[in-house]
Amino acid sequence: MNFPHSYTYLANKQSGFTLLEVLIALVVLAIGLLGLAGMQAIGIKNNHSAYHRSQATQVAYDIADRMRANTVGVDNYLTSFMLPSVATNQNGCTAGGCSSTQMAEDDLYEWNLTITDTLPSGVGTITISGLIYTISITWDDNRDGAVDASDPDFQVSFQP
C-alpha cells in the first residue's frame, strides 16, 4: 500500500481545515446563544413591566370604587386635600362606624400602602377637573432610582 507522495501531502494539508470549521461553528453558536440570552432578558423585563402596569390598573380601580362608595366625602380623596402618604389608619372604621372624612383617610392610607408594597417607588395622586376625577399612578419601572419622564404614568378618569 504505497500511496503517491501527492496524496499524502494533500491529506496533511486538509487536516487543519476541519479544525478551522469547528472554531467558526463555535463562534457562530456562541453569538447565537448570546442573542438568545439577550432576548430572554428583554422578555423577562417586559413581562415584569406588564406586571407592574397590571398592578397599577388594579390599584387605581380599587380607589375609584372606594370613592364611588363614599360619594358624600369624595372630595376628601383629593391629594390636594390630603396626601396619601400622610393619611393614617382609622382603626375600626367601617362604612357605618365613621365619618366620610375618616373613611376617605382610611381608604387613602390603605391605597398608599398597597401602592408602595406592589410598585417600586410608587406614588398615587387624585385630582379633579370639573366633575371628572383623575387617578394617576407613577412608579420607577426602569429601576434607575427615580420616578421621571422615562417611567410610565397610568391614569384613569371617572365621574362618581
pLDDT band at 91 (very low <50, low <70, confident <90, very high): confident
Output DSSP code: residue 3.
Answer: P
Contact 141, 54 (CB under 8 A): no
Task: Give pLDDT, residue 88.
Answer: 80
Q: CA gyration radius for the chain?
A: 31
The pLDDT mean for the chain works out to 86
pTM of the model: 0.75
Q: Which long-range contacts (CB under 8 A, 24 or more apart) does 147-150 make?
A: 147/121, 147/123
Alpha helices in 70-154 (DSSP H): 100-118
**Dist. CA 53–CA 159, nearest whole Å:** 22
Domain boundaries in the chain? 5-158
pLDDT band at 10 (very low <50, low <70, confident <90, very high): low
Alpha-carbon distance values, 76 to 4, 14, 98 (Å): 101, 85, 14
pLDDT tens-digit readout, 32-43: 999 999 999 999
